[in-house]
Structure 1
Amino acid sequence: MSEQIEYSAADEAGVERIARLVRLAARGFNRSLQIRLQTQNVTFGQWIFLRILWQEDGLSQRELSDRAHLTEPTAHTALIRMEELGYIVRRNVEGNKRRLHAFLTAKGWELRELLEPLALEANDIALSSLTKDEQTTLRKALTVMIRNLEEDERRAASRGVRVPPTKGHASS
């Protein structure tokens, strides 16, 4: 069941929480992109790892899971499937026989030309009713919010308070 949102005068008054609106927008972006990715038989999880590898090819499974903010077992499963599909090859580097690194194949690199326009299309749809000035304001506001929240997390960490782990097992 999808969560519906109606914009009203109450929203202009600031009643609707920004966190909820951002979460719903992020979910909408993800779903819009997933609809498009499936036309190329690529999952959203594979998209996440492809994007990372397009920026920095040859990362280890741990490096990929860290950059994607996903668990290593999740990364492992996705990478095995990506290898089966011929998007990547995994191999040892620098004499380290235990750690496998993922490298894009020609097919993996070719996907970039097919998939990036799909992401731009989803982005364009989301922004289609906003003026250029509104888009600029939105980008600036979101960037400031991200910085504020990152700083809040740094301050908490300096006091010894960490975000509870979502990867692996939490301590009892």
Structure 2
Amino acid sequence: MESSIGHQVRITNRAFQRALQARIEPHGITWGMWWFLRVLWSEDGLTQRQLSRRVRMMEATTVTALNNMERAGLIRRVRNTEDRRKTNVLLTDHGRNLRDVLLPLAADVNDIGLRGLSPQEAALLLSLLGRVRSQLEAGVEVEADPDTA
């Protein structure tokens, strides 16, 4: 198992997750909220469906997270004026202001994780992981495409 790339990526991801979670929880942010905030900081006002796709979560999971975020005063949901069936998700001032507090904490976690790597090694790691992810995503799309069978 130690030689499995998938296993190493998973346990490394869990270590990053635990380190970041320990830093964001004192600010009232759960791991489930984190990814939605990250997207909304860049693209405020997305519909729930768009947000779910950006975060790559099932829509039911997104609704649960958004309910919690709304209760915490991080977001508000507003009916789309052009299509009343859609709901747009907007950050509150509180949710928006957390960006300047939380992003440096995430940067700290990345710095800790990359400690001991040269800038060239860190860049190579990012490049290789991106290539592996792209290949896996392309493989899944090919397998799921009935026209390629």
- Residue 117 of structure 1, CA deviation: 0.6
Query: In 2, distance between residues paired with 1:160 and 1:130?
Result: 44
1:134 partnered with 2:121: yes
TM-score (norm 1): 0.78
Q: Which of 75, 86, 105 is the matching residue for 2:92?
A: 105
What is the CA RMSD across the aligned residues, in angstroms? 1.9
Within 5 Å, give how 1:80-95 maps onto structure 2.
80-95=67-82
Query: In 1, distance between residues paired with 2:81 and 2:101?
Result: 32
Query: In 2, distance between residues paired with 1:153 and 1:71?
Result: 17
1:156 partnered with 2:135: no
Report the residue type matching 1:47 in the other structure: W
Measured against aligned partners, the alpha-carbon deviations of 1:105-143 in whole angstroms (never above 9, x if no partner) come to: 111110100110111111111101212222122112112
Query: In 2, distance between residues paired with 1:151 and 1:74?
Result: 25
Within 5 Å, give how 1:1-172 maps onto structure 2.
16-159=3-146
Query: In 1, distance between residues paired with 2:130 and 2:143?
Result: 20
- Residue 159 of structure 1, CA deviation: 4.6
- Residue 91 of structure 1, CA deviation: 0.6
- Residue 147 of structure 1, CA deviation: 2.0
Measured against aligned partners, the alpha-carbon deviations of 1:133-172 in whole angstroms (never above 9, x if no partner) come to: 22122112112212222222233234558xxxxxxxxxxx
More moved, 75-84 vs 16-25 = 75-84
SS in 2 for 1:59: coil
Return 5+ residue gaps in structure 2 as ranges.
none
Query: In 1, distance between residues paired with 2:138 and 2:68?
Result: 37
Query: In 2, distance between residues paired with 1:159 and 1:81?
Result: 38
TM-score (norm 2): 0.89
Measured against aligned partners, the alpha-carbon deviations of 1:58-98 in whole angstroms (never above 9, x if no partner) come to: 11222222222222222112112211222111111224333
Query: In 2, distance between residues paired with 1:29 and 1:78?
Result: 21
Larger proportion of helix: 2
Structure with the greater alpha carbon radius of gyration: 1
